[in-house]
Amino acid sequence: MWTKTAIFTVTQNEDKSFTQAQSVDASGKQQYIQMLRYEEIFPVILAGLTLQVSDLVSRVTVMENASKTTTGGAA
């Protein structure tokens, strides 16, 4: 779900070819970009939300049934 990818710089040469070089910081260390893969995290979030909604629906159903019992079925 979480990625760490090296950053590269691509430049075009005079002969129209391309050169790829590692992007480095001031100390000469390779630079990276970190990203969250949303397409992989959404199913996890959706599963959690589905469980919460199911729990809430069950609780409301119990409350409605209890309300009907105490009021003699009148809504």
- Sorting pLDDT into bands at 50, 70 and 90, what band is 68? confident
User: Considering only CA atoms, which of 45, 39, 47 is closest in space to residue 3?
Assistant: 39
Domain extents in the chain: 1-10+38-70
Position 16, amino acid:
K
Are the C-beta atoms of residues 31 and 6 closer than 8 Å to each other? yes
The pLDDT assigned to 75 comes to 54
Mean pLDDT (the chain, rounded): 91
Please say if the pLDDT value at position 44 is more than 70: yes
User: Within 10 Å of residue 65's Cβ, how many Cβ atoms?
Assistant: 10
pLDDT number for residue 8: 94
> Residue 73 — pLDDT band, cuts 50, 70, 90?
low
Residue 74 banded pLDDT, cuts 50, 70, 90: low
